[in-house]
Amino acid sequence: MIKANAQKRRKLSTISSGTVATPGDRDEPPPTRGHLRERYHFTVELFQLFNSITAHCYRQLAQNDRTIWERLFWLLMLILEAATLVAIIISAWGKFTANPLITTLHDTIYPIELVPFPAISLCNNNRISRSAALRYARQLAVKDTVERRNVSYFLDQIVLLSKLYDFDYENLHQMTKFQEYLDLHDVSNGTGMYNALETLAKLSPRCEDMLLRCFWKSIELPCMLRNDMVEVRRTPYGFCCTFNFIGHNEDNEIHPPSYFLDVTGPEMGLVLLLNGSSNDYFYNLFNNIGFNLQIFNPNEVPDSTAGGVNEQFVHLGTETFIRIDAITINSEPDVLRYSRQKRQCVFRSELLKYGANYGRSNCVAACRLRSVMALCECVPFYMPTAGATAGTKSITTCNLQHIACLNKYKIKWSTVITDIVRIPGLEKEMEESLYCPECLPSCSDSKYQITASELPLIRSRRDGFSITAGIEDVADVAVVRIFFGQPETWMYKQNVAYYWFEIFSNFGGMFGIMAGMSLITLTEVVYFVGRQLVLVFATRSWSARLRARKPTKLELLQ
């Protein structure tokens, strides 16, 4: 009886441990031993990765024959290795981003015929012609019908107009009184107001009188044909005679392209015979009889505060030889991918509001003009207004009533900064400077350096060609020869310091040397992560199906 009960209990236990098939489970095969799933363990999977990965030192952490101390040692080595690698990578990346560009000497025999001839600005040191001042004084005297002051009085007053060049003054009351007279008796036909620009244009020495002969490549050409050779343009020294100056065109005319020179030597450049007209001096800007010559980039205005302007005094009775050596800098298009703050330069095609081609001098001139208009509400007559007055109200040309304001800020406008750098002891100078943050150098540019020599000019008495032929007194004339010194020049190229594949190879070398990692290692890690995601999802799905099956125990009745 006891034995029968025991057998009955074993049968009930066996049957109760099974499951009863439900209608939904009839199509599924019964579970076999091969279908039983093992439990997922991340630690086991991780140790399998350590044991098979191609990177260094990870196998030592997973080997069963290693003691705990050995494993701790190799773990410490891995931590130090990872920290060192991260530090090196951060340092290298910082250097890449801090100095992303590099300038190298690309060509030492770059043909000079590919470099534009520089622009030339020739200004007479006499900024007011005596004959022109005398004519203007007579006009003012005729209009003075009340007090009937003579021509000599107005000649003394016309000297005050020279303060519109340097902004200095002594008797402000006298200047204000003369300006009031001009506002009443010397009004422009177009605006009905006094215009200092028109007045100083009439008083400036004429280029037709200054230029006696002009030669280009040993060929004599007319000096003052319109849109050819020499033009009258505004510069920081007033109205001057310019050659090859195409930057900041305000008259909406189509000027010829830049001049290029494919030959070298004193005879093959620009040769000018100048008339000093020393007896016509009325206001000498530099207290020196002669001419001021400026050499600069043809696409930019001659602004000495922005750099890039070479100046040379030309004395009367001399022959001046000015040798020009050029250096060209070109930037690759890949440099454009970096911000202007990173590359610290601007491409010619950017910031077109400063002209057809960007130039740092054009940008500085426009920045200074905006400051002058904001502080003194006028524009000096010699400042070009293109690129700086869009969307503003009508422009007022500065006259004698603005001299006090112009004098107050002239030091500020003569010092230009593009970046604020705190230097102990120069805080005041920084505050008094003109801040133009967007006026960076051009990414592609030509720089000109000059070497000048001077010889006394001697009257030629020989037969044949002579540039001074027919001139008896050479003491009142000057000859200037401007030329390229050599047929080749240096060309520098600005490019990115490292392309993406170079950075990739550098970082890959660091990972390979210090950690033994490669693209295969990366593939193994990606495979491991993907495998873990699949296993986790499959395990959770299998567990959910098991919980959904609610097994029913069958009780056997005997």
**DSSP state letters, 2-53:** HHHHHHHHHHHHHHHTS-PPPGGGTTSPPP-GGGPPPPP-HHHHHHHHHHH-
- Give the whole-angstrom CA distance, residue 48 versus residue 527: 13
pLDDT tens track, the chain, 558 positions: 444 444 444 443 333 333 334 434 444 444 444 444 556 677 777 777 777 776 767 777 777 777 888 878 878 888 888 888 888 888 888 888 778 888 889 999 999 999 999 999 999 999 999 999 999 999 999 998 888 899 999 999 999 999 999 998 888 899 999 999 999 988 877 677 889 999 999 999 999 999 999 999 988 888 876 556 788 899 999 999 999 888 655 555 556 678 898 888 888 899 999 999 999 999 998 888 999 999 999 888 888 888 889 999 999 999 999 999 999 999 988 888 888 888 888 887 787 666 667 888 888 888 999 999 999 999 999 987 755 554 555 788 999 999 999 999 998 998 888 887 777 766 666 777 889 888 888 888 899 999 999 999 887 776 556 788 878 888 999 999 999 999 999 999 998 887 777 777 888 777 777 777 777 777 877 877 788 888 778 877 877 777 777 554 444 444
In this predicted structure, what is the pLDDT of residue 9? 43
Angle between helices 360-376 and 403-413 (to 10 degrees): 140
Task: State the pLDDT at residue 254.
Answer: 54
Cα distance between residue 249 and residue 355, in whole Å:
8
Per-residue buried b or exposed e for 436-452, using 16+ beta carbons within 10 Å of the residue's own CB: beebbbbbbbbbbebeb
What 8-state DSSP symbol labels residue 554?
Answer: P
Task: Determine how β-strand 488-496 pairs with β-strand 318-331.
Answer: parallel
Q: How far apart are the first and last CA of the chain?
A: 14
What the block records as the tokens of 546 is 């098991």
d(CA 520, CA 525): 9
The per-residue pLDDT for 225 is 66
Contacts of 317 (CB under 8 A, 6+ apart): 456, 457, 474, 475, 476, 477, 478
Per DSSP, the residues of 226-239 read TTSSEEEEEETTEE
Closest CA to 220 of 261, 266, 259, 270: 270
d(CA 471, CA 455): 18
Q: Which fold has domain 109-496?
A: Acid-sensing ion channels like fold (2.60.470)
Q: Are 335 and 496 in contact (CB under 8 A)?
A: yes
Cα distance between residue 151 and residue 155, in whole Å: 6
- Assess contact for 528 and 45: CB atoms under 8 A: yes
CA distance linking residue 238 with residue 162, whole number of Å = 10
Name every residue whose Cβ is closer than 8 Å to that of residue 18 and which is 6 or more positions away in sequence: 554
Which pLDDT does position 28 carry in this prediction?
45
For residue 17, the model assigns a pLDDT of 38
Instruction: Give the DSSP letter string of 198-245.
Output: HHHHHHSPPHHHHEEEEEETTEEE-SS-TTSSEEEEEETTEEEEEES-
Burial (0-12, 13-18, 19+ Cβ within 10 Å), 124: buried
Number of continuous H segments (helices) and E segments (strands) in the chain? 16, 17
Residue carrying the six token digits 């491991």? 528
Q: Which residues pair with 478 in a beta bridge?
A: 274
From the list 133, 139, 189, the residue with the least C-alpha distance to 156 is 133
Q: Measure the CA–CA gap between 157 and 179, rounded to whole angstroms.
A: 10
Q: Is 290 helix (H, G, I), strand (E, B) or coil?
A: strand
> What φ, ψ does residue 216 adopt, rounded to 5°?
-135, 120
What b/e readout covers 50-71, taking b as 16+ CB neighbours within 10 angstroms?
A: beebebbbbebbbeeeeeeeee
Domain boundaries, the chain: 42-98+499-546, 109-496
Encoded tokens for 427: 């805080």
Residue 516: C-alpha distances to residues 59, 81, 170, 512 (Å): 12, 11, 80, 4
Q: Pick from 415, 352, 404: which is nearest to 377 by CA? A: 404
Beta strands, E only, 226-297: 230-235, 238-243, 270-275, 281-284, 290-296
Whether the full predicted model's pTM is greater than 0.85, yes or no, is no
Q: Is 252 left (phi over 0), alpha (psi -120 to 50) or beta?
A: left
For residue 416, list its beta bridge partners. 434
127 contacts 165 by C-beta, under 8 angstroms: yes
Instruction: Judge whether 302 and 129 are in contact, CB under 8 Å.
Output: no
Name which of 204, 205, 223, 203 is nearest 213 in CA terms. Answer: 223
